[in-house]
Amino acid sequence: QVQLVESGGGLVKPGGSLRLSCAASGFVFSDYYMTWIRQAPGKGLEWISYISSTGGYTNYADSVKGRFTISRDSATNSLYLQMNSLRAEDTAVYYCARDGTTGDFGDYDYWGQGTLVTVSS
């Protein structure tokens, strides 16, 4: 069965860095676009980044552009989010999700359980 498991969240000071990971299993990882979505405490969902199946295309929300970098490793079936210059407003649960259409159509059919990132001094 499809599984996505995020890790790497935690408490970090403003201006600091953190790298999130998402371990994928149960499907052919290299066939699917992958995405990161976050949810601040008590708030709605915010799309932040996607990466194509080959890793050749990426895109970011304006709120994280230039600070966050998405990447993937098909050898280990892993998705990553490198987060630099973190701000208090980046505090959120971060979810990885698969686009089930094998393209970029927003069909996020499987989600991980999320990992909490807290940015605070």
Partner 1 sequence: QTVVTQEPSLTVSPGGTVTLTCASSAGAVTSVYYPNWFQQKPGQAPRALIYNINNKQSWTPARFSGSLLGGKAVLTLSSVQPEDEADYYCLVYYGGAWVFGGGTKLTVL
Binding of residue 101 to partner 1 (CB under 8 A): yes
Verify binding: residue 106, partner 1, rule CB under 8 A: yes
Residue with smaller CB distance to partner 1, 37 or 81:
37
Q: What gap in Å lies between CA 41 and CA 39, rounded to an integer?
A: 6
Half-sphere exposure in the Cβ direction for 38 (13 Å, CA)? 23
Query: Rounded to 5 degrees, what are φ and ψ at 68?
Result: -110, 150
Instruction: Report the residue from 76, 85, 113, 120 that binds partner 1 according to the rule CB under 8 A.
Output: 113
| Closest listed residue to residue 114, CA positions, set 64, 46, 60 | 46
**Residue in the block written with tokens 């990553």:** 80
**Interacting stretch for partner 1, rule CB under 8 A, among 11-19, 23-31, 38-46, 84-92?**
38-46
Q: Does 35 bind partner 1 (CB under 8 A)?
A: yes
The site for partner 1 (CB under 8 A) is made up of 35, 37, 44-47, 50, 59-62, 95, 100-101, 105-114
